[in-house]
Amino acid sequence: MAGKLNVQIVTGERVVFEENDVDMVVAPGGAGMLGILPEHAPLITTLSLGELRIKKGSVEQSILVYGGFMEVAEDKVLVLADSAERAEELDIERAEAARRRAEASIASRESTMELQEAQAALRRANLRLRVGQKRGSRRGGPSGSGPTPAAPG
Amino acid sequence: MANAREIQRRIRSVASMGQITRAMEMVAAVKMRRAQQRVTSSRPYSEQLRQIMADLATQQLDPDQLAQFPLLQKRPIQNIELIVVSPDRGLTGALNTNILRRATRFILEEAESPVRIIPIGKKARDYFVKTKQNVIAEFVGIGDDVTLDTVRTIADIAIDDFASGTVDAVYVVYSRFVNTLVQRPEVMQILPVEPAEAHEGYADYIFEPTPEAVLNELLPRYVEVQLYQAILDGLASEFSARMVAMRSASDNAKEIVHDLTLSRNKARQAQITQEVSEIAAGANAMAG
C-alpha cells in the first residue's frame, strides 16, 4: 500500500498542527529546502526560518516555522519548531508594521545586539508578508485552491 | 456583650470578605486549570527533544565527541547558579515558605560551593535580597501568561554563564504540581545537560547537516523547555495553593458569620427581655 505521512508540528507551547494521510512535506531544512515523501529514510535535520508546505491531495497548507528540528521516521514527520504559526493565523498588517519597525531600527544603527535582533525581526516579518501575500492572492484567484478560513482580524 | 448593632456591622464585613475570598478561589481554579493544560501541551515537545538527544548522545557520537559540547561538560564544581521560581504574589498558604526553605536548604547544606541566585518572582526576589544573598539577575512580574520567548531570555543567562565557565552547574528550585492539595518544592539540575538513555529500536538516522550541528542546536532548546516547564509547574502550584487557601478562608468566613449571627440574636433577645422586664417593673410600681 502506498504510504501516507503523518505530520505533527509542535512547539514548546502547543501542538500547532497534526494531520494524517499527507502526501508530501516541503521543509526549510538547515542545509536547504527538502521534500519528504512517504517511505523517506529516517532523518533528523535542523530547520531554518521559512515556510513549511504540507500537500494533501490537491490541497496545500502552509505553516511558518522559525527554526527548530524535524524528525522523519516510519512515515511520521515530527517538527519541533522554536516557534510556528499557521498561514491562516497571519496578520498581514501586523507583519507590515513589524517590518517597518525593524527597518527603522536597522537604519538607526544601534548596538550590535539590537541590530541582530532587528535583522531577525525583519526576516520574520518578510517571511510573514511573502507567505501572507501569496495566500491572499490565491484566495482571490479564480481557481481558489485550498480551503482558506477567513483570517482573523 | 457587644450590642446587636455592632455585631451586625461585623457580620456584614466578614460576609463581604467571604465573598472576595470566594471570588479569588474561583479565579484561581480557572487559572490553575489553564496552567495545567499548558504543562500538558508542552510535553510532546520536551519528550521528543529528550529522545532525539538521547539517541544522539548514546548512539551517534562517542564520548570524545560529546566532550566537545560546552553544555554537556562535567567539571569539578566550584560555582553554582540557582534559579528560584516563586510566585509574584502571596495568599498561597505555605507555598512560598516551602519554596524558599527548600532553596535555603540547598544553599546552606547541599551545595558545597558558592551559589549565585537568579530569582524569578517577587517573593523569591524579596527574600534573597533581604537575606543579602548573591543575586545576579532577577525576573519579577513575568505574569500568568509567560511565553517560551520570555523564558528563553532567562535560560540564556544560565547557558552563557555555564558555557563561559563562570559557573559549573545550574539548578532550578521550583514547586512541582503533584495535585491540587500537594505541591512539592524540588531541585532540578538543568546544566550540565544529562542525556537520557536511548530507547530500543531507534533507527539509524541521517543527520543534516551533521549530528554535531543538530545536537548543538538542540541542547539550548532542551534547557529552555525544562525551565519553561518548571515555571508552568510553579504557576499551577501557585494557583492550586491559592485556591485551597481561599477556600478555607471562605469556609472560615462562613463559620464566623454563623457564630456572629448567633451572638447577635442572643444580644437582641437579651435587649428585648430587658426592655420587657423594665416595662413590667414600671407597671408593677405604678400599680403598687
Give all domains of chain B, ordered by start, each with its CATH number: 57-242 (3.40.1380.10)
How crowded is residue B137: how many other Cβ atoms within 10 Å of its Cβ? 16
Tell me, yes or no, if B213 comes closer than 8 A to chain A by beta carbon. yes
Mutate to test the interface with B, among A48, A80, A117 (most CBs of B within 10 A): A80
Q: From start to end of B14-134, where are the E strands? A: 80-85, 115-120
Would you list the domain boundaries of chain A?
5-87, 92-140
Say whether pLDDT at B171 is over 60. Answer: yes
Q: How far is A145 from chain B (nearest CA, A)?
A: 32
pLDDT of residue A1: 44
Q: What is the DSSP string of B227-254?
A: HHHHHHHHHHHHHHHHHHHHHHHHHHHH
pTM of the model: 0.81
Q: What is the mean pLDDT of residues B103-117?
A: 88
When the pLDDT of each residue in chain B is averaged and rounded to a whole number, the result is 88
Strand partners, A56: A59
- Inter-chain contact B214–A44, Cβ cutoff 8 Å? yes
Mutate to test the interface with A, among B43, B55, B202, B208 (most CBs of A within 10 A): B208
Q: What are phi and psi of B46, to 5 degrees?
A: -70, -35
Question: With bands split at pLDDT 50, 70 and 90, how would you rate the model's confidence at B175?
Answer: very high
Of B48, B148, B228, Cβ closest to residue A78: B48
From chain A residues 120-149, the ones with a CB under 8 A of any chain B CB are none
Report ipTM (2 d.p.): 0.70
Question: With bands split at pLDDT 50, 70 and 90, how would you rate the model's confidence at B181?
Answer: confident
Q: How far is B122 from chain A (nearest CA, A)?
A: 24
Mutate to test the interface with A, among B45, B47, B55, B154 (most CBs of A within 10 A): B45
> What's the N-to-C CA distance of chain A in angstroms?
43
B67-71, B218-222, B277-281: which range is least confident on average? Answer: B67-71
- Inter-chain contact A69–B217, Cβ cutoff 8 Å? yes
Beta carbons of A55 and A23 less than 8 angstroms apart: yes
- Inter-chain contact A45–B209, Cβ cutoff 8 Å? yes
- Inter-chain contact A15–B49, Cβ cutoff 8 Å? no
Q: What does R_g of chain A's alpha carbons equal in angstroms?
A: 17
Strand partners, B104: none
Question: Any idea which fold A5-87 has?
Answer: ATP Synthase; domain 1 (2.60.15)
Q: What does R_g of chain B's alpha carbons equal in angstroms?
A: 29
Q: 3-state DSSP call for residue B184?
A: strand
pLDDT of residue B29: 93
Strand partners, A47: A29, A68
Which run of H or of E encompasses B7?
Answer: helix B4-55
Q: What is the mean pLDDT of residues B84-106?
A: 90
Q: What is the mean pLDDT of residues B193-210?
A: 72
Q: Is B54 left (phi over 0), alpha (psi -120 to 50) or beta?
A: alpha
pLDDT of residue B11: 93
pLDDT of residue A39: 86
- Inter-chain contact A69–B41, Cβ cutoff 8 Å? no
Which run of H or of E encompasses B37?
Answer: helix B4-55
Query: In tens digits, what is the pLDDT along chain A, a chain of 153 residues?
Result: 468 889 989 888 888 888 888 888 998 888 888 888 988 888 888 888 888 888 888 888 888 888 888 988 888 898 998 888 887 777 777 777 777 877 777 777 666 667 777 777 777 777 777 777 776 554 443 443 444 444 444
Q: What is the mean pLDDT of residues B95-115?
A: 89
Residue that has been written with the C-alpha cell 539517541 in this structure: B55
pLDDT of residue A112: 67
Tens of pLDDT along B233-247? 999 999 999 999 999
User: Which residue in B has a C-alpha nearest to residue A11's C-alpha?
Assistant: B45
pLDDT of residue A146: 42
Tell me, yes or no, if A33 comes closer than 8 A to chain B by beta carbon. no
pLDDT of residue B280: 92
Q: 3-state DSSP call for residue B40?
A: helix
Tens of pLDDT along B7-63? 999 999 999 999 999 999 999 999 999 998 888 888 888 888 888 888 777 777 777
How crowded is residue B135: how many other Cβ atoms within 10 Å of its Cβ? 17
pLDDT of residue B83: 93
How crowded is residue A24: how many other Cβ atoms within 10 Å of its Cβ? 18
Residues of A in contact with B217 (CB under 8 A): 30, 46, 67, 69
Q: What percent of chain B has pLDDT over 90?
A: 44
From chain A residues 55-94, the ones with a CB under 8 A of any chain B CB are 67-69, 71, 73-74, 78, 80, 82-83
Chains A and B form CB pairs within 8 A to the count of 78
Which run of H or of E encompasses B61?
Answer: none
Q: From start to end of A31-101, where are the E strands? A: 32-36, 43-56, 59-73, 76-81, 84-86
